[in-house]
Structure 1
Amino acid sequence: MPDAAPPPGAARNSGADGEARGHAPAGEVRRETADGARGHETGPWGWALAGLAVLALGLYLTSLRGLLSPFLLYWVVVALLLPFRGRPGHALLVGVATVLGLVWLLATTGFLVAPFVLGLLLAYMLDPLVDRIQARGVGRSLAILILIAPVGAAVLGGVLFGVPAVAGEVQRVIDASPLLLDRFAAFVGRAAEWLDRVPGVDSDALVERLQAIRPEDVVGYLRERHREITQGLVSGIVGVGRGLSSLVSVVGYVFLAPVLAFYLLRDYDGIVARARALVPRPKEEAVVSFAREYDYLLSRYLRGQLTVALLLGVLTAVGLFLVGFPYALLLGSLVGVLSLVPYLGLALSLIPAVAIALMSGDVLWSLIKLAGVFGVTQVLEGTVISPRIVGESVGLHPVWVVLALSIGGFFLGFAGFLLAVPVAVGVKLLVQRGVVRYTQSSLYRGDG
């Protein structure tokens, strides 16, 4: 039999008894909470004292600047900002400090971080292929080996055979430089008549300066710098050593990066799942949407652009070889590497090619061969290769890519060059979302 409900007066009496026993009514509790919250608010004197404390700490840290590092200063900044957690601007300040800390870390340890970044990018690009092979009943580890083994063999073969071959091409240029310069001088003499027809050009002075270049001086300079040129070529391919020997750099990039890629690929889906589990639940939908769009842009650009660069390098080298143009392998390698930089790469690869054509025996015929090969490869790249591999557009403007590669390579070396495009894609998406929020705000509409 259910208990009888207490009479209405009993509830009122119970409330009164509660007040008599020291329990404040709900209204008073809310008032006390509000008063306590107001008591914890930072007044003008509180902000002044906080400013003085920060100033004093800054002076103290300045006196200890020889013992401090940006890593320690980062945690000092985080600790100082901890009492202001939840206030406007706190997350922004911590984010800026974190970004600056990461930049410092990459700038100081880029030569050590670069193999890890390279392994991560390799795992990111190969993961879809591993998933496709695994879907056909092949074990994931075996599927990874099927992909990693050819890539590692190709890179190792390129380092062991490709670099010496390109270095040999450089040596051939140096050995042939006296003959090439004599041919160039003869070409300048024949071009004097053409230059006389160009208004505003002092052909006599220009020809005199060009003919004043003595071949023996150029040959002597190139022979003195031959070792530096060869070492610079190797360093440019395997990354800047920053004090490490070339052998250690080769081991790091050729062996360490594929090993890291193997282990990352083996647990790639688990890493993604654990990262998603750490996202705050209220933000999960927005973060997942951002990550999907980021993955779409970055994957299409990286996989497509690397494939296009490889095809352009091979087509250029084969084309120049078939038409009998000298140093075809050297020029094809330059085209493949430099084509990773939109537009600017084509111009940079044309400079040595035109120079070699001008110093050849038959300048006009060499220029025709060069123009034919470069013209055909660029037409194929623009009409067939890029549209089929990269797509019509990945939403990443070439100027944005060039700017990112220049800044990343200048400040952070090879590691910055590797991270330039991924960071540029992220910044682009953040800017797009910022613009959308601004156009939807009352400030833009003028409602406020």
Structure 2
Amino acid sequence: MFELIKSWYQDKFSDPDSVTLLLLLVFTGTMLYFFGSFVIPVLVALVIAYLLDWPVTRLQRVLPSRIMATNIVMLGFVGLVLALMLVIVPVLWSQTSNLVQEAPSMIEKGKDYLLHLPDTYPNLISVQQVQNIVAAVESKVVALGELIVSVSLTSIKDLVAWLIYLILVPLLVFFMLKDKVPLTAGIKQLIPKDRKLITQVWEEMDHQIMNYIRGKVIEIVIVGGASFIAFAVLELRYAALLGTLVGLSVLIPFIGAALVTIPVAAVALFQFGIAPEFWTILIVYGIIQALDGNLLVPLLFSEAVDLNPVYIIVAVLFFGGLWGFWGVFFAIPLASLVKALGNAWSTSHKNLKAKEV
């Protein structure tokens, strides 16, 4: 067994570049795991700066300086964020509050519907089964209520954290964009000289990450906007809230679409009952999800994602468990990074063998 591990190590890490790549990966992963919560503003700013670097670079070609391009892009970005906060967030907050207030009556209607199921379908479900289901739902509702109370008690602390983010993150983004060249040069000085594989992995990932982030933003806007329009046309209540949830659900491949189906179906059921309107909403929602998965995703991510769905689901569960929302958001790029690392080490091994021959 020891000889097998030794042989594998010699095959993969005989090249100094491979060792450098491994050490950098272990160091970065360790720092993020233990200190990730302390540098979340920096990570968020890094993601935003990476996304905004594309328009800054394009503007820099027609403007005299990078500072001017950075100022224009930052003004546009801050204006967009403020517009969203002043226009969309109040609507979502209002609809969420109304939904929370109406939730008890919706739960009572659902409970009454379940209790009448044995009379309607006596051969399929019994009274005892219904009582067990009702008891389980009630326990979940109580647990959810306790969670809401605990979250409200810590809301002041979270509000302070968000205020800090609103100040620090834009400043970090601005200086990351303005001083990209000296910051990049400083990072290169910290990396060992044997970094051929690091450069190879970065070049492979750079294009994929940019395409993924840009594609994800476009997908959220298209899917969320289409869902909102469809729900509004069909006169479904809480259309803006449900449309936003559907749009954000694309952040979690496969799982998100299944989870967001529950609130969409529940609201439609309690508003219309088992009526043609209910089935129409479900059919339209299913069409939107089908078009997203079979048309929009291949169109947006054909160059960025080349992974088996099993790997994607495992990556979502693993990285989401480690880093929460950001782990879920970057699950696919991180899985692609693992694949790129495997390709880099395999390439290094082949090149080393070729030199020996």
Query: What TM-score do you get using the length of structure 1 for normalisation?
Result: 0.62
Partner residue, 2:311: 400
Q: 168, 179, 188: which one pairs with 1:256? A: 168
Partner residue, 1:316: 227
Report the alpha carbon displacement of residue 290 of structure 1 after superposing the two structures with TM. 3.1
Task: Kindly indicate whether the alpha-carbon contact (under 8 Å) linking 1:155 and 1:254 is maintained by their aligned counterparts in 2.
Answer: no
1:1-44 CA distances to partner (integer Å, 9 max, x unpaired)? xxxxxxxxxxxxxxxxxxxxxxxxxxxxxxxxxxxxxxxxxxxx
Q: Give the direction of change, closer, same or farther, for the CA distance of 1:305–1:381 in structure 2 (3 Å limit).
A: same
Query: Bigger radius of gyration, 1 or 2?
Result: 1
1:427 aligns with 2:338: yes
Report the alpha carbon displacement of residue 437 of structure 1 after superposing the two structures with TM. 5.8
1:351 aligns with 2:262: yes
1:145 aligns with 2:71: yes
Report the alpha carbon displacement of residue 317 of structure 1 after superposing the two structures with TM. 2.2
Partner residue, 2:109: 183
Structure (1 or 2) with the greater helix fraction: 2
Partner residue, 2:209: 298
- Give the total of aligned pairs: 342
Task: Kindly indicate whether the alpha-carbon contact (under 8 Å) linking 2:207 and 2:304 is maintained by their aligned counterparts in 1.
Answer: no
Larger relative contact order (Cα-Cα within 8 Å, sequence gap ≥ 6): 2
- 1:245 is paired with a residue of what secondary structure? helix
User: 1:266 is matched by which residue type in structure 2?
Assistant: K
Identity of aligned residues (%): 25
Partner residue, 1:330: 241
1:225-276 CA distances to partner (integer Å, 9 max, x unpaired)? 64446689x8xxxxxxxxx922232123333222211111123245445656
Cα distance between partner residues in 1 of 2:58 and 2:20: 41
- 1:176 is paired with a residue of what secondary structure? helix
1:204 aligns with 2:204: no
Query: What TM-score do you get using the length of structure 2 for normalisation?
Result: 0.76
Task: Kindly indicate whether the alpha-carbon contact (under 8 Å) linking 1:185 and 1:210 is maintained by their aligned counterparts in 2.
Answer: no
1:125-181 CA distances to partner (integer Å, 9 max, x unpaired)? 221221212223364223223322333333345456655543433332232234323
Q: Give the direction of change, closer, same or farther, for the CA distance of 1:379–1:221 in structure 2 (3 Å limit).
A: closer
Report the alpha carbon displacement of residue 429 of structure 1 after superposing the two structures with TM. 0.3
Q: 367, 370, 373: which one pairs with 2:278? A: 367
Task: Kindly indicate whether the alpha-carbon contact (under 8 Å) linking 2:212 and 2:333 is maintained by their aligned counterparts in 1.
Answer: no
Q: Give the direction of change, closer, same or farther, for the CA distance of 1:221–1:276 in structure 2 (3 Å limit).
A: closer
Q: Give the direction of change, closer, same or farther, for the CA distance of 1:381–1:161 in structure 2 (3 Å limit).
A: same
Partner residue, 2:159: 247
Listed as ranges, the gaps of 5+ residues in structure 1 are 1-86, 235-243, 443-447
Q: Give the direction of change, closer, same or farther, for the CA distance of 1:278–1:320 in structure 2 (3 Å limit).
A: same
Report the alpha carbon displacement of residue 346 of structure 1 after superposing the two structures with TM. 0.4
Cα distance between partner residues in 1 of 2:320 and 2:153: 19
User: 2:173 is matched by which residue type in structure 1?
Assistant: A
User: 2:339 is matched by which residue type in structure 1?
Assistant: K
Cα distance between partner residues in 2 of 1:345 and 1:436: 36
Listed as ranges, the gaps of 5+ residues in structure 2 are 1-12
Cα distance between partner residues in 2 of 1:231 and 1:398: 40
Task: Kindly indicate whether the alpha-carbon contact (under 8 Å) linking 1:133 and 1:143 is maintained by their aligned counterparts in 2.
Answer: yes
Report the alpha carbon displacement of residue 323 of structure 1 after superposing the two structures with TM. 0.9
1:267 aligns with 2:174: no
